[in-house]
Structure 1
């Protein structure tokens, strides 16, 4: 995580943002029982209880302990239980064993949140310095990342249950209108500016702003749909090694992939698990829960390719960031609405790019424990852009760089095609 690109002043609305973000997390946890919030469904996921406590631990550890002299730690054991990967802070519960944290109870985690919230309010009421306000805003964006992870991890957990429970009311949605054939919009090549330019919040990996050289390219005006991916499956693509990167083909053989994550056949029809329970697959909605390998193979099958993250950012610059985000309550990707120009650039699904997650020129992690956030993961990951139906509003930017390993499938990840011009 990076410092803000400009110092905050006492007039900044950081306190209001803090209250909103913290209340949103509480609302996300409200439908869950203590058992729901404790179980860890796989090593890559974390229990909801852990997300709710870890984000609170961040404020306690990074903001309150250094900056509020009379602060009383809620529970000393939480530093071990809810640290994530901050080596400079100390030992922690191993990530694959977070589900063993059966105690504290979820009610205690909410009491912990109340305790820390009151202390942060006290600190902000004391006309906190710009450095403190900056840390609080940083913590808010960090918590919004965990809000999305809480949703994707609960979806994975509930999919493992034989009951296939719904996180939210299992409201069925009708099949949407066919969005029509994708059209490609051309962009000139040349030297373009990439990265965050300052003036508002950004994570450290979004900068420094720098120049990149692009060849002329085309970008599809909408996301790839479930129906288009069904054609890929029906054409035997999962059995054709010529479409796949070597590591992706190895994953197919090892894991028997033959469809997107969460898909299953019922009476000859495709169904998928959603945060509103099991639902029929809408052929006109964007395909999601794909690995990088599946996205790349589909692009090869279609005679196209994935965009680079620089191509994506160049195309997205200046566009409205309206989209189907978590606050809409839909919690599922939405079919493209009729219109001209680029659609679905923000929200619905994270879009895989062909770019590895690596540092921009002149990148340097910030000093101290908060510098352990992005730089240490710049190896073996690919960049995704645009946000998803589980991303909080106000958390996404055209310069935002999400990243996951190429075999990750449980996130709301899909694709948009690109082509050379």
Structure 2
């Protein structure tokens, strides 16, 4: 309790105050002591210290994994996976860079060509009035010459085709990356897996090189050839003799004689329809691209020479350089703006896709021991999905192919429904 006593305001100038605070009771707190070794030992004997046993189990599991035979193989696969991930980024960045080359070179060359054509037209217009034309002639000739040189280089390297090569390489390396991750996730990898993935990486590096000088792919080959980005796979064949009592092949590992006949019919359709069609389109793309690559620099060269004769009183000498420059700009836009080189590379990649399917099916069927093959049902499903079909549609295609071949007519359907 607290009481305050005050005197009257006019009788005293002081205020007397006194406080009485009630004392709180004393509280005793006990600090926990560190358990002795006897208590810990007792808890351990009773099994009341679970973290100790869990730590021991984790250590034993880690040691068993570290000492397992697959640990080295997994480390190698992860190392290859890191390399593949690096390749993906490299090809992606280079592809974007070369796509920028195509856009920048196309715009700059066309701008230079049209500027030179404008100067030539101005010189031709004022030539009849006796104005000095030498500065205009020199400027237009230099611009046409620069456009011709740049166009020769651009047509030689084909930036649109270079960009498409890197896009395809990026896609293939990503597929390889997913394949390695799947192999690790399934478990039990072998040294054959490591060697196989290593060969695939090296084959992709060879098929889609990054440098331009020395190892650049031929942009104007003599004829169309499908792209090949997989290593040469060597299969070991072990023949198994058939007894006379077996009229049909034994069904094993998902394989049957009907399935093998179906796969052979699919190969025939791929060869007769898909691969032939892309070979025809690829050869057309080569001829068109080669013609445009020759015509563009030729026209700018004619314009460079003709611009020196502008203003001499001849209508032909005034019209020819301007028309040649205009046609060169159109052809350049058609070739590189339309990305004819990219279209040709796309045809090469599609042809390589069908060639890979053909070799995969043939090499699988050549393996006599069905136990060494991939499971037949899984293999059939994978082939169907790669062709954009269901399993039932793939079987219908094989039946239709066999029927058409028996009747001596060509099948009117392509194997792939994707492209």
TM-score scaled by length of structure 1:
0.21
The higher radius of gyration belongs to: 2
Structure with the bigger percentage of strand? 1
